[in-house]
Amino acid sequence: MLRASVRALAEAKIAPHAAEVDERARFPQEALDALTANDLHAVHIPEEYGGSGGDALATAIVIEEVARVCASSSLIPAVNKLGTLPLMLSGSEDLKRRYLGAVARGDGMFSYCLSEPEAGSDAAAMRTRAVRDGDSWVLDGVKRWITNAGVSEFYTVMAVTDPTRRSKGISAFVVEKSDEGVSFGAPERKLGIKGSPTREVYLDNVRIPADRIIGEEGTGFATAMRTLDHTRVTIAAQALGIAQGALDYAKGYVLERRQFGKAIGEFQGIQFMLADMAMKLEAARQLTYAAAARSERGDADLTFFGASAKCFASDAAMEITTDAVQLLGGYGYTRDYPLERMMRDAKITQIYEGTNQVQRIVMARNLPN
């Protein structure tokens, strides 16, 4: 029922704008409005904080179905989870009630600020500083590759509070867009997900109340890594949706396109391509849903399963969208059809929330018994 309702909403309210959102590289406000009106913009927030109380699998299905028609729009529920999960894992009860409630009501989105110009895969090398000053923290630094920056009202920011302790000297904070000293760089000019703004976040002597620290001082990096264990499942779900959209479109096309006197879908070579695409997609889906179940339970092997689901599903999405473009031939290469957009969108799923090379390192270090 959840899948059917989200698919109907996505096809009616989000899909009609997807091509234009990509073409103009504009934020998909129609998608945000539709998702918020139906309490699907942050389905993961518990009921006690005013949310829908959706579990990890429900959240994955929502993201998957939105990504099937528009990858940029699927980053609304995905990044809301990424930004708020540190609060859910480590935040004080006051922070949870204040900010989770605001997101659940639709008062603003939540972004996640970990990466920096010199701290990508090596996130512990960050230079953004947070210094205690009485009843305040003062933050200075630059965060890069921040999804939905400038549109989100709230930001989880990782900053160094004790530079002598490397990863154990990093703490997490809630920063608001309206805080004095917060500004944003120009939107990045990207290959795909063009409707989701990616910008630098500048923190220039930003003074925030001391109670906006998330968890204990020095626990920010651990919270960030625990967050990614859970949210890599959402990237896998996004990859599934993109791949499913591409497969659905290609399948319909080959039944209509005729060459040599018959539909090209009747040729065995085409059928084999479709069979491989569907097989890889279903394998990725089963792995992703297994990881979602572990995320919900908080299983000890989540780190391995989150990394493997993200890695496998995103690699599969890149292969499937590339093959879908091939099945349309010259038409697949044009912007008159949605497959070249899906192929471009799929690429980022192999890169963000940890490149797939990093995922393989994570898997190797956490091989299941």
Query: Among candidates 79, 96, 69, which has minimal Cα distance to 41?
Result: 79
**100 contacts 49 by C-beta, under 8 angstroms:** yes
**Cα-atom radius of gyration of the chain, to the nearest Å?**
21
End-to-end CA distance of the chain: 36
- Tokens, residue 363: 């898997």
Q: Judging by beta carbons within 10 Å of its beta carbon (0-12, 13-18, 19+), is residue 185 exposed, middle or buried? A: middle
Annotate 100-127 with DSSP letters as a single string.
IHHHHHTS--EEEE--BTTBSS-GGG--
- Tokens, residue 255: 């039944």
Amino acid type, 63: I
- CA 210 to CA 289: how far, in whole Å? 39
**197 contacts 28 by C-beta, under 8 angstroms:** no
- CA 293 to CA 278: how far, in whole Å? 23
Helix boundaries (H) for the chain: 2-9, 15-24, 29-37, 56-67, 71-90, 93-95, 101-105, 220-256, 268-297, 302-327, 339-348, 356-365
**Catalytic residue among 65, 116, 340, 353, which?**
353
Dihedral (C-alpha) 222, 73, 184, 208: value to the nearest 10 degrees? -50
> Please, which residues bridge with residue 263 across strands?
258
- CA 192 to CA 347: how far, in whole Å? 8
Is 118 catalytic? The answer is no
Amino acid type, 141: G
* Distance (Å) of CA 45 to CA 51, 174, 263: 5, 17, 47
Catalytic residue list: 353
